[in-house]
Amino acid sequence: MEKQNYVINNLYEYLEILDKVPRLYIFRGQENFNWEVIPSLARYPSVLRDFKYWYEFENYILEEFQKYSIRFFNDKPTKDIDWLVLAQHHGLPTKLLDWTLNPLVALYFAVNNSYCKNNSLVIALSPNSWSIDIPDIHIDNFDLYFPKHIDEQIISQHSCFTFHPLPNFDGPFLPIDKLEIDAELMVKFEIPNSRRRSILESLDHIGINHYSLFQNLDGIGRYFKEKYYDIIY
């Protein structure tokens, strides 16, 4: 797999590179360039203190999520992968990693925390294959999954997910750089922290902001806080 790296200082530079590299297909923004690109579950190895294996913990926590959340659904999901997507979208750490088909959405999530003191990251992939169904969530393959439109945020954020294999026993997750991925190209965009605010303002000018991506009361509140109150220093 080919790998490329760029530093961007403004929205124009970002779009210019994307225009030159049309093969990129999915995008992810992270506020800290130095963070490993791993699913949220991988950041909580302490959960295994009461479990022998990742597999055992995953079964337990998904069953608990289903038990507590089922009363909030008129049409409950029928597949484990849909339950996993909902759990991920509502804050439960899972082995799914959020991506978007929209490079501007990824850039927003990379720069929207004005209090972060580190450079930001957008990572992009051009995968050669993907799935529209994962019948067994315990498979050991890396995969790209396009979910059903079962949540408004999935629609507004143009969401898709990468499906990461659980480590053997209680071992660590591998970051995406070290996984075997069927992809043609991986690109990393580094955004200097000093450029975070100006890029956020440029995105707002073209309608990419917290309200457009979340479209609820919390999104409105966060949008105006972000627009008028947040500062970098």
The answer as to whether 121 is a domain residue is yes
Q: Is 56 contained in some domain?
A: yes
**Residues with Cβ within 8 Å of residue 104, at least 6 apart in sequence:** 203, 206, 208
For the chain, give the number of residues. 233
Mean pLDDT on 74-78: 80
Q: Is 28 within 8 Å of 106 (Cβ atoms)?
A: yes
Q: Name which residue leads in pLDDT, 222 or 35.
A: 35
Most confident by average pLDDT, 66-80, 117-131, 140-154:
117-131
Quick check: 56 and 112 in contact, CB under 8 A? no
CA angle, 14 as apex, 34 and 208 as ends, to 5°? 90
Q: Residue 156 is which amino acid?
A: S
CB-based burial of residue 210 (10 Å sphere; 0-12 exposed, 13-18 middle, 19+ buried)? buried
Indicate whether 1 pLDDT > 90. no
Residue 78, domain member (yes or no): yes
Residue among 130, 157, 132, 124 at smallest CA distance from 144: 130
Measured distance CA(87)–CA(99) in Å, rounded:
15
Residue 233 lies in a domain: no
Q: What is the identity of the amino acid at 86?
A: L
For residue 65, give its domain range: 2-228
Q: Render pLDDT for 187-199 as a digit per residue (tens, 0 to 9).
A: 999 999 999 989 9
Q: Please give the tally of structural domains in the chain.
A: 1
* 33 found inside a domain: yes
Tell me how crowded residue 230 is: count the other CB atoms within 10 A of its CB: 15
128 assigned to some structural domain: yes
232 pLDDT tier (thresholds 50, 70, 90): very low
Strand partners, 186: 3, 125
Q: Is 20 domain-assigned? A: yes
- Is 80 a domain residue? yes
